[in-house]
Amino acid sequence: MVNIYMAKYYGNINDVFSTQELLNSLGEGQYELCYLYDEQGEVKPEFLETVQRENVLNWKRAGYPDPICNGVIHCPHFDFDEKFLYAINKYLNIISDRCAISVTKPGQVIAPHTDVDGREEELRKFGELKGFHIHLGAPVPGHVFMIEELSYYLQEDGAVYEWDQWDSPHSGANAGLETRYIIAIRGIRPYEPLEYEYVWNEHNPEYLQFKLNDGRVIP
């Protein structure tokens, strides 16, 4: 039997802070533009030498066109107040190592992918990896989030879902007439309480590092 993983309703983040306040506070964001193929239509070698190799080969087989990535994400500290990140961590009982607001314009599709990035072994020394997403804004026809074989549609503003498996393939689409916002989160649920503060990485704002009391920076 094939296991079907999904995301289960966790609660609503509006019980912690106003999603409208968060959205109204967003900065310019981090523009991402990525071309997957060379002039011959083959995947560029550098994409086959990363932990995203499986995702890349799946996109090639499915015929996803370039640019494979063309949009904006908003990252804590750089594009919105880090107080929202700390509030999310407390609510979910995790320490996020990835927490970004994905922006999908009408007509855009996010190709199926996993959030594997090569830092997992180090993170697992301190806690169990967890995955979540949070719907932002009022329900809009055409806004959809998919994980494994299930889809989440017309979700209430602030709805939080915890994933069965943090590394489940997921995707999204905007077939509506308004911009779609969603927070994608990965983090550790510590094996024991940890005191930490974030170290902000301007070269890769999406990947969050945190410093423990003993000075170690993870990951």
pLDDT, tens digit, 9 for 90 and up, residues 193-205: 999 999 999 999 9
pLDDT band (50, 70, 90) for residue 190: very high
Query: Given a cut of 90, is residue 96 above it in pLDDT?
Result: yes
User: Domain locations in the chain?
Assistant: 7-27+73-218
Sign of CA dihedral 72, 177, 159, 121: negative
Query: Given a cut of 60, is residue 2 above it in pLDDT?
Result: no
CA 82 to chain centre: 16
Query: Given a cut of 90, is residue 110 above it in pLDDT?
Result: yes
Q: What is the mean pLDDT of the chain?
A: 95
Side-chain-side CA neighbours of 112 within 13 Å: the count stands at: 16
Beta-bridge partners for 198? 210
pTM, full prediction: 0.95
Quote the pLDDT of residue 4: 60
Quote the pLDDT of residue 6: 84
User: Pairing relation of β-strands 69-74 and 95-104?
Assistant: antiparallel
Q: Which one of 1.10.3080.10, 3.10.350.10, 2.60.120.10, 3.20.20.140 gives the CATH number of domain 7-27+73-218?
A: 2.60.120.10
Farthest-apart Cα atoms in the chain, separation: 52
Instruction: State what percent of residues in the chain have pLDDT above 90.
Output: 95
- ω into 67 cis (within 30 of 0): yes
pLDDT band (50, 70, 90) for residue 3: low
Quote the pLDDT of residue 35: 96
Burial of 167 (0-12, 13-18, 19+ CB in 10 A): middle
**Over residues 202-213, mean pLDDT:** 95
Query: Given a cut of 70, is residue 217 above it in pLDDT?
Result: yes
Question: What's 37's DSSP letter?
Answer: B
pLDDT, tens digit, 9 for 90 and up, residues 24-82: 999 999 999 999 999 999 999 999 999 989 999 999 999 999 999 999 999 999 999 99
Burial of 136 (0-12, 13-18, 19+ CB in 10 A): buried
Instruction: State what percent of residues in the chain have pLDDT above 70.
Output: 98
Measured between its terminal Cα atoms, the distance across the chain in Å is: 36
